[in-house]
Amino acid sequence: MFKPDRLCAFSDGVVAIAITLLVLGLEVPSVHKVPEQQLRDYILGSLHPLLGFVCSFVLIGVYWLQHYAIFHYITHVDRVLVAINGLFLLCVSFVPFPTGLQAAYRDDELAMVIYGGAQMACSFSLLALWVYATRNHRLVARNVSPKVIRNMTTQITLTALISATAIATSFISLTACRAIFLAIPVLQLSRHTTDSEWSEANGKQHDSEA
Protein backbone atom coordinates (compact mmCIF):
# COMPACT_ATOMS: atom_id res chain seq x y z
CA MET A 1 0.00 0.00 0.00
CA PHE A 2 1.17 3.52 -0.78
CA LYS A 3 0.22 7.02 0.25
CA PRO A 4 -1.89 8.85 -2.37
CA ASP A 5 -0.01 12.18 -2.19
CA ARG A 6 2.45 11.65 -5.05
CA LEU A 7 -0.19 10.03 -7.25
CA CYS A 8 -2.46 13.06 -6.78
CA ALA A 9 0.38 15.47 -7.55
CA PHE A 10 1.31 13.55 -10.69
CA SER A 11 -2.33 13.44 -11.80
CA ASP A 12 -2.76 17.18 -11.27
CA GLY A 13 0.31 17.80 -13.44
CA VAL A 14 -0.95 15.63 -16.30
CA VAL A 15 -4.40 17.26 -16.21
CA ALA A 16 -2.81 20.72 -16.22
CA ILE A 17 -0.71 19.80 -19.27
CA ALA A 18 -3.78 18.39 -21.07
CA ILE A 19 -5.68 21.63 -20.49
CA THR A 20 -2.68 23.64 -21.69
CA LEU A 21 -2.43 21.56 -24.88
CA LEU A 22 -6.01 22.51 -25.75
CA VAL A 23 -5.06 26.11 -26.44
CA LEU A 24 -2.45 25.00 -28.98
CA GLY A 25 -5.35 24.16 -31.28
CA LEU A 26 -6.22 27.85 -31.47
CA GLU A 27 -4.13 29.33 -34.27
CA VAL A 28 -3.08 32.98 -34.15
CA PRO A 29 -2.89 34.14 -37.78
CA SER A 30 0.06 35.89 -39.31
CA VAL A 31 -0.62 39.44 -40.41
CA HIS A 32 0.72 38.43 -43.83
CA LYS A 33 -1.89 35.67 -44.19
CA VAL A 34 -4.79 37.59 -42.67
CA PRO A 35 -4.65 41.35 -43.32
CA GLU A 36 -6.24 43.69 -40.78
CA GLN A 37 -9.32 44.23 -42.94
CA GLN A 38 -9.98 40.46 -42.89
CA LEU A 39 -9.38 39.98 -39.17
CA ARG A 40 -13.06 40.27 -38.25
CA ASP A 41 -14.02 37.53 -40.71
CA TYR A 42 -11.19 35.34 -39.44
CA ILE A 43 -12.33 35.75 -35.82
CA LEU A 44 -15.92 34.88 -36.77
CA GLY A 45 -14.65 31.80 -38.57
CA SER A 46 -12.64 30.82 -35.50
CA LEU A 47 -15.62 30.87 -33.12
CA HIS A 48 -16.21 27.15 -33.58
CA PRO A 49 -12.68 26.08 -32.55
CA LEU A 50 -12.87 28.58 -29.67
CA LEU A 51 -16.14 27.12 -28.39
CA GLY A 52 -14.64 23.64 -28.71
CA PHE A 53 -11.68 24.76 -26.62
CA VAL A 54 -13.95 26.21 -23.92
CA CYS A 55 -16.14 23.08 -23.85
CA SER A 56 -13.16 20.72 -23.52
CA PHE A 57 -11.56 22.99 -20.92
CA VAL A 58 -14.71 22.83 -18.81
CA LEU A 59 -15.09 19.07 -19.28
CA ILE A 60 -11.51 18.35 -18.26
CA GLY A 61 -12.10 20.63 -15.27
CA VAL A 62 -15.13 18.50 -14.35
CA TYR A 63 -13.11 15.29 -14.62
CA TRP A 64 -10.40 16.83 -12.44
CA LEU A 65 -13.02 17.82 -9.85
CA GLN A 66 -14.46 14.32 -9.83
CA HIS A 67 -10.94 12.90 -9.51
CA TYR A 68 -10.26 15.33 -6.66
CA ALA A 69 -13.45 14.25 -4.90
CA ILE A 70 -12.58 10.58 -5.32
CA PHE A 71 -9.16 11.03 -3.77
CA HIS A 72 -10.67 13.00 -0.91
CA TYR A 73 -12.07 9.68 0.31
CA ILE A 74 -9.16 7.43 -0.67
CA THR A 75 -6.79 6.89 2.26
CA HIS A 76 -4.19 4.70 0.54
CA VAL A 77 -3.51 3.24 -2.91
CA ASP A 78 -2.25 -0.02 -4.34
CA ARG A 79 -0.69 -0.93 -7.69
CA VAL A 80 -4.03 -1.74 -9.32
CA LEU A 81 -5.40 1.69 -8.44
CA VAL A 82 -2.22 3.29 -9.82
CA ALA A 83 -2.81 1.44 -13.09
CA ILE A 84 -6.47 2.51 -13.28
CA ASN A 85 -5.46 6.07 -12.51
CA GLY A 86 -2.93 5.85 -15.34
CA LEU A 87 -5.75 4.80 -17.67
CA PHE A 88 -7.73 7.88 -16.62
CA LEU A 89 -4.72 10.12 -17.31
CA LEU A 90 -4.30 8.46 -20.71
CA CYS A 91 -7.91 9.29 -21.57
CA VAL A 92 -7.62 12.90 -20.36
CA SER A 93 -4.37 13.53 -22.21
CA PHE A 94 -6.06 12.28 -25.41
CA VAL A 95 -8.87 14.87 -25.26
CA PRO A 96 -6.93 17.65 -27.10
CA PHE A 97 -6.77 15.47 -30.24
CA PRO A 98 -10.54 14.96 -30.74
CA THR A 99 -11.07 18.58 -29.70
CA GLY A 100 -8.95 19.71 -32.64
CA LEU A 101 -10.48 17.06 -34.88
CA GLN A 102 -14.06 18.17 -34.35
CA ALA A 103 -12.99 21.79 -34.79
CA ALA A 104 -11.37 21.02 -38.16
CA TYR A 105 -14.19 18.73 -39.33
CA ARG A 106 -17.07 20.62 -37.79
CA ASP A 107 -19.73 19.08 -40.07
CA ASP A 108 -18.53 15.48 -39.79
CA GLU A 109 -20.41 13.12 -37.48
CA LEU A 110 -17.38 10.83 -37.15
CA ALA A 111 -15.34 13.65 -35.59
CA MET A 112 -18.05 14.19 -32.95
CA VAL A 113 -18.33 10.45 -32.33
CA ILE A 114 -14.59 10.32 -31.59
CA TYR A 115 -14.91 13.40 -29.38
CA GLY A 116 -17.82 11.89 -27.46
CA GLY A 117 -16.00 8.58 -27.18
CA ALA A 118 -13.07 10.35 -25.55
CA GLN A 119 -15.41 11.93 -23.00
CA MET A 120 -16.99 8.54 -22.27
CA ALA A 121 -13.54 7.01 -21.79
CA CYS A 122 -12.68 9.68 -19.21
CA SER A 123 -15.91 9.03 -17.32
CA PHE A 124 -15.65 5.24 -17.38
CA SER A 125 -12.03 5.30 -16.22
CA LEU A 126 -13.08 7.53 -13.31
CA LEU A 127 -15.93 5.15 -12.56
CA ALA A 128 -13.53 2.21 -12.54
CA LEU A 129 -11.27 4.16 -10.18
CA TRP A 130 -14.12 4.86 -7.75
CA VAL A 131 -15.69 1.40 -7.89
CA TYR A 132 -12.35 -0.33 -7.30
CA ALA A 133 -11.46 1.94 -4.37
CA THR A 134 -14.84 1.64 -2.65
CA ARG A 135 -15.60 -2.05 -3.20
CA ASN A 136 -15.81 -3.41 0.34
CA HIS A 137 -14.18 -0.12 1.42
CA ARG A 138 -10.97 -1.45 -0.08
CA LEU A 139 -9.10 1.88 -0.19
CA VAL A 140 -11.45 4.29 1.57
CA ALA A 141 -12.22 4.88 5.24
CA ARG A 142 -14.87 2.70 6.86
CA ASN A 143 -16.89 5.78 7.79
CA VAL A 144 -17.61 6.66 4.15
CA SER A 145 -21.35 5.99 3.96
CA PRO A 146 -23.01 3.79 1.32
CA LYS A 147 -25.09 6.84 0.37
CA VAL A 148 -21.97 8.79 -0.64
CA ILE A 149 -20.57 5.81 -2.54
CA ARG A 150 -23.86 5.31 -4.37
CA ASN A 151 -24.27 9.01 -5.18
CA MET A 152 -20.74 9.38 -6.54
CA THR A 153 -21.20 6.25 -8.65
CA THR A 154 -24.45 7.64 -10.05
CA GLN A 155 -22.93 11.04 -10.82
CA ILE A 156 -19.99 9.60 -12.74
CA THR A 157 -22.21 7.12 -14.58
CA LEU A 158 -24.57 9.92 -15.64
CA THR A 159 -21.60 11.84 -17.03
CA ALA A 160 -20.80 8.88 -19.29
CA LEU A 161 -24.48 8.50 -20.28
CA ILE A 162 -24.66 12.17 -21.26
CA SER A 163 -21.68 11.65 -23.57
CA ALA A 164 -23.37 8.56 -25.04
CA THR A 165 -26.54 10.60 -25.62
CA ALA A 166 -24.50 13.30 -27.34
CA ILE A 167 -22.92 10.71 -29.64
CA ALA A 168 -26.35 9.36 -30.62
CA THR A 169 -27.65 12.90 -31.19
CA SER A 170 -24.71 13.75 -33.47
CA PHE A 171 -26.34 11.72 -36.27
CA ILE A 172 -29.40 13.97 -36.03
CA SER A 173 -27.97 17.40 -35.16
CA LEU A 174 -24.36 18.34 -34.49
CA THR A 175 -25.47 21.58 -32.83
CA ALA A 176 -27.71 19.71 -30.38
CA CYS A 177 -24.92 17.20 -29.81
CA ARG A 178 -22.50 19.93 -28.73
CA ALA A 179 -25.16 21.51 -26.50
CA ILE A 180 -25.76 18.21 -24.70
CA PHE A 181 -22.16 18.13 -23.47
CA LEU A 182 -22.93 21.31 -21.50
CA ALA A 183 -25.19 19.23 -19.25
CA ILE A 184 -22.10 17.59 -17.74
CA PRO A 185 -20.87 20.66 -15.79
CA VAL A 186 -24.49 21.45 -14.83
CA LEU A 187 -24.77 17.95 -13.40
CA GLN A 188 -21.52 18.41 -11.51
CA LEU A 189 -22.77 21.64 -9.91
CA SER A 190 -25.88 19.82 -8.69
CA ARG A 191 -23.84 17.37 -6.60
CA HIS A 192 -24.88 17.78 -2.96
CA THR A 193 -24.70 14.41 -1.23
CA THR A 194 -20.95 13.87 -1.53
CA ASP A 195 -20.25 17.51 -0.71
CA SER A 196 -22.56 17.51 2.29
CA GLU A 197 -20.56 14.72 3.93
CA TRP A 198 -17.19 16.19 2.93
CA SER A 199 -16.60 18.09 6.16
CA GLU A 200 -18.20 15.30 8.16
CA ALA A 201 -15.78 12.77 6.71
CA ASN A 202 -12.89 15.09 7.51
CA GLY A 203 -14.07 15.46 11.08
CA LYS A 204 -14.40 11.72 11.58
CA GLN A 205 -10.99 11.14 10.08
CA HIS A 206 -9.38 13.71 12.34
CA ASP A 207 -11.15 12.20 15.35
CA SER A 208 -9.86 8.73 14.48
CA GLU A 209 -6.33 10.09 14.05
CA ALA A 210 -6.56 11.77 17.45
Distances (CA, A) of 5 to 71, 102, 113, 125: 9, 36, 35, 20
The residue-averaged pLDDT of 32-53 equals 69
Given a cut of 50, is residue 57 above it in pLDDT?
yes
pTM of the model: 0.84
Q: Which of the two residues, 53 and 92, has the higher pLDDT score?
A: 92
In which band, very low, low, confident or very high, does the pLDDT at 203 lie, cut at 50, 70 and 90?
very low
**Containing domain of residue 57, as a range?**
5-209
Count of structural domains within the chain: 1
Distances (CA, A) of 86 to 50, 64, 94, 103, 170: 29, 14, 12, 27, 29
Contact 69, 134 (CB under 8 A): no
pLDDT reported for residue 50:
82
| Strands, E assignment, 11-146 | none
pLDDT reported for residue 10:
95
pLDDT reported for residue 56:
93
pLDDT reported for residue 61:
93
Given a cut of 80, is residue 209 above it in pLDDT?
no
Across the chain, mean pLDDT equals 85
